[in-house]
Amino acid sequence: MTFSVRTSQHDAPNPLAEAVRDARTRAAEGGPALLDLTVSNPTSAGIPYATTEILAALADPRGLLYEPEPLGLASARAIVALDWTARGTAIDASRIALTASTSEAYAVLFKVLCDPGDEILVPAPSYPLLGFLAAFESVTLKPYPLVYAGGWHVDLDALKSAIGPRTKAIIVVTPNNPTGSYLGVHELDAMLDLGLPIVSDEVFATYPLRGSGPPCGRVASVATASRGLVFALSGLSKLAGLPQMKLGWIGVSGDASLVAQAMARLELVLDAYLSVATPVQLALPTILATRSATEQAIRARTARNLEALRSAMKGAPTASVLEVEGGWYAIVRVPDVKTDEEWTLELVTRDGVHVQPGYFFDMARGAHLVVSLLTPEATFAEGITRVAARVAEEE
C-alpha cells in the first residue's frame, strides 16, 4: 500500500519538541514547571467570554433544521457584512463566503485559483501552517521577503522577481504572524499593479498594539480595493477568541466582473463540502455582539506583555525587541553567538522557558526568538525575565 506524497512527513520530532516534552514530563513528576511563552489558544489563557449568552445562542432550535447554503446562511453573511462595515470596510453580503475556518478558506482559494503545480507567493517570515495547506492542494509556495529596517516592509523588487509563469496569487498577512506588521497602502497598490489576485489573511487586524487601528499609511483591510481581485480572510478564531466555533469567512472585492466569477467558483467548491455548521451561524449575531469584553481583554494583555517585554530586555543590551504594530506575537533579536534553535533549547533545559525559534517562521538571518503576547501576564513576566537574564549572561 502507498500513500500520497502530500501527506508524507518526518516522524521524528525536532530537538525543541523533544526538550519541551521532557521538561513537561519532569514537571508532571514533581519537577519545576515549564513557563510556556508560546500560548496561542485564548480559551485556555484566562480570557473572559460572554459564556451565558453564547451558550444560549448555540441552543437555538433552528439549528436542528438542515437547509444547506453553499456560501453560508444569508443571515450570517449579512451579520459579517455589518460587522466589517462597522469597522470601516464597507462590503456587501453577496461578496462574502463562509468557511469552517481560515485554514479552510485557504484550501478553498487554492482550489479556486490554482491547478496542481501552480505557485503562490507567500511572505517570509510567516506562519508555517501555510506550507502544509498548500502541499495538501498540490500547490507550491514561493517566498518573497519582508525586510526589517526599524520596521517591516515588503521587498517589492524581490516580490516582482519571484513571479513566474505558474504564479497564480500573492498571499499577504496583515498584521503578519510573527512580525506584527500591517501591509502598507503603497505596498497594496504595487501588488495590485502586478495583476495577480491577492489573498489577505486579516485575522489579527482588530488587534493593533498602538492606538485603535493600523498606523498611518497601513491597510486596515484589502477589501477596500476597487480594482484587481482580492480576498480578505477573517473569522471567529481571533476576532472573538473562539477558534473552536469553526467559523471563518472570505470577503471578495475588486473589479466587479472578476468578483462575480470568483463568487461563482467559490460557491461551486463550497457546495461540494457544506462544512459550516448551522448552530454557529445562527449564534453569530450574539457572538459578535458580545465579543467586546474578550477583545478588550486580549488587547489589554498583549499591550501590557509587550511593555513588560521591552522593559525586561533593557537588562540585556545585546538583545532587542523588533518593532511590532499589531497581533499577538513579538520577536526578540538575540546575539547570533548561537543559533536561534540553540537559544531555545538552552532556555528550555536551563531556564524552564519555552519560546519559538525564528527559523520556525523562515527567519533566515541572525538569531531570533518569538513569544506570544497572549501568555498569562504572570507567566510572561517571569519567563521573559529569565530570557533576559540568559541573554545578559552571554554578553
In tens, the pLDDT along 330-350 reads: 999 999 999 999 999 999 999
Burial of 236 (0-12, 13-18, 19+ CB in 10 A): buried
Residue-averaged pLDDT of the chain: 95
C-alpha closest to that of 289 among 93, 96, 54, 97? 54
Would residue 374 count as lying in a domain? yes
Task: Look at residue 214 in the predicted model and tell me its pLDDT.
Answer: 87
> 125: pLDDT confidence band, cut at 50, 70 and 90?
very high
pLDDT tens-place string over residues 187-206: 999 999 999 999 999 999 99
Q: Report the C-alpha gap between 123 and 102 in whole angstroms.
A: 17
The yes-or-no verdict on residue 10 having pLDDT over 70 is no
Task: Look at residue 183 in the predicted model and tell me its pLDDT.
Answer: 97
Examine the domain organization and report whether 279 and 319 are in the same domain.
Answer: no
Mean pLDDT lowest among 128-132, 225-229, 255-259, 307-311: 128-132
φ, ψ of residue 164 to 5 degrees: the values are -125, 180
Q: What percent of the chain has pLDDT over 70?
A: 99
> 43: pLDDT confidence band, cut at 50, 70 and 90?
very high
How many CA atoms are closer than 13 Å to the CA of 298, on its beta-carbon side?
29
User: CATH code at 255?
Assistant: 3.40.640.10
Which of 289, 311, 345 is where one domain is finished?
289
Would residue 5 count as lying in a domain? no
Examine the domain organization and report whether 229 and 159 are in the same domain.
Answer: yes
User: CATH code at 323?
Assistant: 3.90.1150.10
Would residue 128 count as lying in a domain? yes
Would residue 327 count as lying in a domain? yes
The rounded Cα 240 to chain-centroid distance in angstroms is 14
Q: Report the C-alpha gap between 307 and 142 in whole angstroms.
A: 35
Specify the pTM: 0.96
Examine the domain organization and report whether 232 and 324 are in the same domain.
Answer: no
Which of 289, 311, 334 is where one domain is finished?
289
Examine the domain organization and report whether 313 and 238 are in the same domain.
Answer: no
pLDDT tens-place string over residues 181-191: 999 999 999 99
Would residue 390 count as lying in a domain? yes
What does the block give as the cell for 316?
540585556
The yes-or-no verdict on residue 11 having pLDDT over 90 is no
Write the DSSP symbol of residue 16.
H
Mean pLDDT lowest among 6-10, 85-89, 94-98: 6-10
Would residue 348 count as lying in a domain? yes
Task: Look at residue 154 in the predicted model and tell me its pLDDT.
Answer: 97
Could you give the angle at the alpha carbon of 393 between the alpha carbons of 390 and 395, nearest 5°? 120
> 3: pLDDT confidence band, cut at 50, 70 and 90?
confident
What residue has cell string 514547571?
Answer: 33
Residue range(s) defining the domain that contains residue 139: 51-289
Task: Look at residue 13 in the predicted model and tell me its pLDDT.
Answer: 79
Q: Report the C-alpha gap between 85 and 223 in whole angstroms.
A: 10
Q: Report the C-alpha gap between 209 and 180 in whole angstroms.
A: 9
Under 8 Å between Cβ of 229 and 262: yes
Would residue 309 count as lying in a domain? yes
Task: Look at residue 2 in the predicted model and tell me its pLDDT.
Answer: 82
Examine the domain organization and report whether 40 and 56 are in the same domain.
Answer: no
Examine the domain organization and report whether 159 and 278 are in the same domain.
Answer: yes
Task: Look at residue 226 in the predicted model and tell me its pLDDT.
Answer: 94
Examine the domain organization and report whether 317 and 193 are in the same domain.
Answer: no
Strand intervals (E) in the chain: 35-36, 96-99, 119-124, 140-148, 152-154, 167-173, 198-201, 229-235, 248-254, 320-321, 329-334, 353-354, 356-357, 367-372
Which of 259, 289, 319 is where one domain is finished?
289
Examine the domain organization and report whether 297 and 270 are in the same domain.
Answer: no
Would residue 1 count as lying in a domain? no
Examine the domain organization and report whether 85 and 44 are in the same domain.
Answer: no
The yes-or-no verdict on residue 390 having pLDDT over 90 is yes
pLDDT tens-place string over residues 282-326: 999 999 999 999 999 999 999 999 999 999 999 999 999 999 999
Examine the domain organization and report whether 298 and 152 are in the same domain.
Answer: no
Task: Look at residue 395 in the predicted model and tell me its pLDDT.
Answer: 66
Count up the domains in the chain and report the number: 2
The yes-or-no verdict on residue 9 having pLDDT over 80 is no
Q: Report the C-alpha gap between 153 and 144 in whole angstroms.
A: 11
Under 8 Å between Cβ of 160 and 194: yes
What residue has cell string 492542494?
Answer: 137
Task: Look at residue 169 in the predicted model and tell me its pLDDT.
Answer: 98
Examine the domain organization and report whether 281 and 309 are in the same domain.
Answer: no
Examine the domain organization and report whether 265 and 339 are in the same domain.
Answer: no
What does the block give as the cell for 153?
516592509
Calculate mean pLDDT across residues 119-128.
95
